[in-house]
Structure 1
Amino acid sequence: MSAFETIIGLEVHVQLNTKTKIFCSCATSFGEEPNKNICPTCLGLPGALPVLNREVVKKAIAFGTAINAEINQNSVFARKNYFYPDLPKAYQISQYEIPIVGRGSISIEINGESKIIGVTRAHMEEDAGKNIHENDHSKVDLNRACTPLLEIVSEPDMRNSDEAIAYLKKLHSIVRFLGISDANMQEGSFRCDANVSIRPKGDSQLYTRVEIKNLNSFKFIQKAIEYEVERQIEAWENGNYAQKVVQETRLFDTTKGITRSMRGKEEAADYRYFPDPDLLPVHIDKILMQEGRQIPEMPDEKKARYIKDFGIKESDASVLIGELERALYFEEMIAFGASPKGALTWLTTELLGRLKAENNLQNCGITSQTLAMLVKRIDESKISGKSGKEILDVLIEQKGGDVDSLIDTMGLAQVNDDGALLESIEAVLRDNSDKVAEYKSGKDKLFGFFVGQVMKNSKGANPARVNELLKEKLQ
């Protein structure tokens, strides 16, 4: 494989989270009874006219702003003609020559190094329905038909599957942080088509590309790309590249871990694009442009702020911004009074480390306020870190609870009364006068013995304070 270079370009379909569809007032809710959310307009019945949803345009502007892209004030909808059972009107309303979002870029990190991936365009379009195949027959659910999509097309700038996944994860976080999509891959609201080709290293020519269609998990996307690269290299080395690698659409068989041919790949001419006669050109006025450009803090901006304001390491900041919910949870903990260092440790290491794969911050039952209180009690030395872990285990088991109540009922409060601690220290030193003499003669390791005796005699003693008072007494 070292003799070849991989060329990867990605087309990502992001389902926008508007309440209604792109050209009609049907709901976009997921999981409804099949064919419930449909009307003459989204089915393309004669006499029904589409009306553009303003929120779709606003969300597209927000995305363009986030990736520093050109935003075309004037864009055009086109009809893309093709015939599939999940598209009853036999054409899709999309954008072709003039998309709403032009060239932009997304920065990714691979092995600690940054790389810029170009974005060719992002255009608005409607989704198709969904085919459901059962045994020897197929069904069609058209609830998804006319749901607004933003199709984001990258430049062929990625050279391996790791770069492709890094780009997809960054893109996923951008649309989530913007709040324009839930980007739920299992429900199909973030789907990817991967265009893959190879060439000998040093060659600048682009060879036949294969499109792998409808990938909806990072794991399968990576496996599909890696299999396809191996397949093309093997064909090249066996001398039958032209016969085995043709421009086509392939599907990834997740069971067998292979790609297989689906159909020949259409060219733009096959779709017979022409301006949609039922829709006027899109003109973005000044007010709508301003609204769309008002975007929240993006992942890279959050990362820089965490490093600067909270003094945390870059690698830790990257973990926090990896998921929107994680970043918000962290910020809420700090707002509730937790120290940044404590919030970081107890969120990323202790809490997330304990949650099982099927759990997440949304359903674990422990609110950011509860975990912040636990961190505060540790920082105040009211409980030890060890006791904090015991309490966290209980909070996870019972899906929440009151930290202070658990401290009391579990008897985990630390003794911070200097008078009581000094009394215990003096008793230990008095009972072990011979060891005190040995310590003062140079046997420093006996200090640990004294600490252990005090801790044994003073249940719940604060170890840090015991150390401080014991040192003063021995001096």
Structure 2
Amino acid sequence: MAQAQEQGDLAVVIGLEVHIQLETDTKIFCGCSTEPSDEPNTRTCPVCLGLPGALPVLNEAAVESAVKVGKALDASIPEETRFHRKNYYYPDLPKNFQITQYDDPICQDGELECSVEGTRRTVGIRRAHLEEDPGSLKHQGGSIDAADYTLVDYNRAGVPLLEIVTRPDFRGAEEVRAFLAKLEEVLEYLGVFNASRDGSLRIDANLSVVDADAIDEDGTLDEAARENANRTEVKNISSHKGAEKALAYEATRQKNAIRRGRAVEQETRHWDESRGITVSMRSKEEEKDYRYFGEADLPPLRVSHWKEEIEIPELPDARRERFQSEYGLNEEAADKLTSTKQVADFYEEVTEQFDPDLAATWVADELLGELNYRDMDVTEIEERFDEVSRLIELVATDEITTKNARETVLRTMLDEGATPDSVVEAEELGKTSGDEVQQAVKEAIDENPDAVEDYHNGEGGAINFLVGQVMQKTGGSADPGDVNQLLQTEIE
């Protein structure tokens, strides 16, 4: 449970509704493709357009994905779950109702641990339920409250969503950001989510402000205080950073209103990312406004036994701990190497050929560092992992220097798509022979008597200067450590 974060005599209470687009080939109730299209309204059929007489058929892959998430969140899966119709009018909802789950969701009472500024938090998961996505609105000429007109694209209508509803366990916007990062990490490990898809993660946040003394030291909230506090629902949040900004703004807005003696209206507000503010959309609906009733065209769903039958991969926390114990990595390296499943898998492939420390240095520091600098993701070079392994081999077998491997070969590989061997050949980066290095050492000593004298006088920087001279003469193809030893031997 989160710790209370006070600001004067007021504290923030936040709960989330996180909408996850599940990675399936087809939509949840029809056979239309979920692949994005630049052509609006081309991924549609009578079912996802809500035409009369069209009947839904449940996508098995979407249900399997929901069960995997339930296992990862340690949630219970009831013996029987069912679908309902949630009735409301909105332009991008073609049937004027949404097929969703109401009082019998597929996942119930779970939890997820995350770390906030080095402190572990356990966030309660009230439920996770399957539903269909509405279409998407394209506001032309401005934001939602200032657009000239709005277009509707139904390509997304019917894409499978899993809505994860947390308990009101957050006491600050930074906790929300940490939780979302951890949740996304887990979902990607499960293989049910692709963060690169537009609209793949959408967050609605319920935020209210209560007296700070209504929250105990362990973060437990007085239920009566929560019920009595008016809350706002903030919509249109689509990123971790956006969630932190939106909720920090909304918390400040509500606290300022209360301190000035104004009432906080219970309403739905829109996060305008371009202006960095929330704007009022409409009064907040209650459950009765949606007029839920059972979806007669879909039978009850009985999949509780799938929780035992469906396997899920090793999750990030467990893999992080194993990397530290099995490979002797420190916490920082283990965090980097388990940041995504692709990175962790590649690291373990490399450790089958090379020393774990060497593999960690090249994957966690060199490769990820260069990718981050280029704003690239490791998935963009998955097909070239064998080339990265070859580069590590060139270093491990002393065919090229670490410096050249890092500063020339790897960077050229990423910038120009070249192979490591072709870069080594084109730039003539193969290590020089022992005789050539020895000759370069003698020349550096003969040409720099002042530096030699400084070395004898105990100035440590002199040897580094001489190493640099030798590296220049050899075109960077000598090993700096070997050069250092040769210089000291020759001078002494």
Do they superpose with TM above 0.5? yes
Between stretches 162-171 and 135-144, larger displacement belongs to 135-144
1:391 lines up with 2:409 in the alignment: yes
CA distance in 2 between partners of 1:334 and 1:434 (Å): 46
Between stretches 420-429 and 166-175, larger displacement belongs to 420-429
CA distance in 2 between partners of 1:79 and 1:223 (Å): 33
Aligned counterpart for 2:166 among listed residues 154, 157, 160: 154
Q: What is the deviation of 1:449?
A: 7.5
CA distance in 1 between partners of 2:472 and 2:188 (Å): 51
DSSP 3-state at the match of 1:386 = helix
Letter in 1 for 2:281: M
Aligned counterpart for 1:63 among listed residues 62, 69, 91: 69
**Contact 2:78 / 2:304 at 8 angstroms: preserved in 1?**
no
DSSP 3-state at the match of 1:75 = coil
Q: What is the deviation of 1:12?
A: 0.6
TM-score after normalising by structure 1: 0.88
CA distance in 1 between partners of 2:339 and 2:181 (Å): 8
**Contact 1:195 / 1:211 at 8 angstroms: preserved in 2?**
yes
Q: 1:98 to 1:392 in 2, by over 3 A?
A: same
Q: 1:428 to 1:182 in 2, by over 3 A?
A: closer
Structure 2 match to 1:340: 356
DSSP 3-state at the match of 2:317 = helix
**Contact 2:451 / 2:463 at 8 angstroms: preserved in 1?**
no
Between stretches 16-25 and 127-136, larger displacement belongs to 127-136
Q: What is the deviation of 1:142?
A: 1.6
Structure 1 match to 2:188: 176
**Contact 1:333 / 1:368 at 8 angstroms: preserved in 2?**
no
Structure 1 match to 2:175: 163
CA distance in 2 between partners of 1:423 and 1:437 (Å): 20
Q: What is the deviation of 1:62?
A: 0.4
DSSP 3-state at the match of 2:108 = coil
**Contact 2:319 / 2:338 at 8 angstroms: preserved in 1?**
yes
DSSP 3-state at the match of 1:48 = coil
**Contact 1:332 / 1:369 at 8 angstroms: preserved in 2?**
no
Structure 2 match to 1:112: 118
Aligned counterpart for 1:269 among listed residues 263, 285, 288: 288
- Flag structure 2 segments of 5+ consecutive residues without an equivalent: 1-6, 142-147, 215-221
Structure 2 match to 1:195: 206
Letter in 1 for 2:230: T
DSSP 3-state at the match of 2:139 = strand
**Contact 1:184 / 1:190 at 8 angstroms: preserved in 2?**
no
CA distance in 1 between partners of 2:451 and 2:15 (Å): 73
Please list, as runs of the form range in 1=range in 2, the aligned pairs for 1:401-416 lying within 5 A after superposition. Answer: 401-415=418-432
1:278 lines up with 2:290 in the alignment: no
Letter in 2 for 1:350: E
Q: What is the deviation of 1:394?
A: 2.0
Structure 1 match to 2:25: 19
Q: 1:248 to 1:377 in 2, by over 3 A?
A: same
Structure 1 match to 2:259: 237
Q: What is the deviation of 1:435?
A: 10
Structure 2 match to 1:48: 54
Between stretches 357-366 and 119-128, larger displacement belongs to 357-366
- Number of matched pairs: 465
Letter in 2 for 1:158: F
**Contact 1:130 / 1:141 at 8 angstroms: preserved in 2?**
yes
Please list, as runs of the form range in 1=range in 2, the aligned pairs for 1:310-325 lying within 5 A after superposition. Answer: 310-325=327-342
CA distance in 2 between partners of 1:231 and 1:238 (Å): 11
Aligned counterpart for 2:378 among listed residues 361, 386, 391: 361
1:382 lines up with 2:394 in the alignment: no
**Contact 1:102 / 1:122 at 8 angstroms: preserved in 2?**
yes
**Contact 1:10 / 1:153 at 8 angstroms: preserved in 2?**
yes
Structure 2 match to 1:96: 102
Q: 1:174 to 1:457 in 2, by over 3 A?
A: closer
Q: 1:435 to 1:75 in 2, by over 3 A?
A: closer
**Contact 1:334 / 1:372 at 8 angstroms: preserved in 2?**
no
The C-alpha deviation readout for 1:50-75, integer Å capped at 9, x for no partner, is 22111111111000001111112311
CA distance in 2 between partners of 1:279 and 1:432 (Å): 86
Q: 1:106 to 1:429 in 2, by over 3 A?
A: same
Q: What is the deviation of 1:31?
A: 1.7
Aligned counterpart for 2:232 among listed residues 202, 207, 210: 210
The C-alpha deviation readout for 1:187-236, integer Å capped at 9, x for no partner, is 11211101111112112311111110121122221111011000000011
DSSP 3-state at the match of 2:48 = helix
DSSP 3-state at the match of 1:19 = coil
CA distance in 2 between partners of 1:332 and 1:403 (Å): 18
The C-alpha deviation readout for 1:258-298, integer Å capped at 9, x for no partner, is 10111111111111112211111111164x4444x311121
Matched-pair identity in %: 39
Structure 2 match to 1:349: 365
Q: What is the deviation of 1:423?
A: 7.1
CA distance in 1 between partners of 2:471 and 2:35 (Å): 59
DSSP 3-state at the match of 1:29 = coil
Q: 1:23 to 1:421 in 2, by over 3 A?
A: closer
**Contact 2:26 / 2:34 at 8 angstroms: preserved in 1?**
yes
Q: 1:43 to 1:427 in 2, by over 3 A?
A: closer
TM-score after normalising by structure 2: 0.85
CA distance in 1 between partners of 2:34 and 2:136 (Å): 14
